[in-house]
Amino acid sequence: MASPSSEKIHAQIRAWLDTFVVGLNLCPFAKPVLAADTLRLAVAAGSNTEPLARSFLEELDRLQQSAESEIATTLLVIPEGLAAFDDYLDFVELANQMVEQVGLLGTVQVATFHPNYCFEGEPSEGVSHYTNRSPYPMLHLLREEALEAAIAAYPEAEQIPARNIARLEALGCEQVLALWAQLRAAD
């Protein structure tokens, strides 16, 4: 099977952002970043640990070397690899270790998205998983200072996860799956 082109990957991620993240307001902080065009979409090279780790470290460095007005946050998309959710979680653990090893703990935070995301303890068919499902495995590199400021300015930010689950449950599994199928149909 041929690898998707970078343009196709960007289009799919953009559609996901527009439909799920912003469209369903799953992340109230995303819309201003998208409007300001300060989200960096990076496509990782390779499919195994070494090149993926190299891509991750390069993106960490790029984020740190850039002004927030240039790159507020980065989505590192992994189109070839980590398809198995357990393998992805192992890489997330490695990514968090790398953040600490390069001295960025407390400066950069890694958020996680995967096509087969499953929250532990939730039923496998639960609609809640779609709050963290994305077209490809990806790591979201966030500037902690900016995240803390956004959270401080947002009323009851700690309620965002519960509101997201309630929003998806109100839509119902059938409608959420239909939205997801529309994204996947663009594959």
Residue 38: closest CA among 73, 14, 77: 73
Task: Specify if 95 maps to a domain.
Answer: yes
Is the pLDDT at 118 greater than 90? The verdict is yes
Task: Specify if 31 maps to a domain.
Answer: yes
Task: Specify if 149 maps to a domain.
Answer: no
Overall number of domains in the chain: 1
Task: Specify if 18 maps to a domain.
Answer: yes
Residue 176: which domain range?
6-144+158-185
Is the pLDDT at 184 greater than 80? The verdict is no
Task: Specify if 129 maps to a domain.
Answer: yes
Residue 25: phi, psi to the nearest 5? 55, 40
pLDDT in tens, 56-106: 999 999 999 999 999 999 999 999 999 999 999 999 999 999 999 999 999
For residue 54, the one-letter residue type is R
Task: Specify if 83 maps to a domain.
Answer: yes
Task: Specify if 150 maps to a domain.
Answer: no
pLDDT band at 5 (very low <50, low <70, confident <90, very high): confident
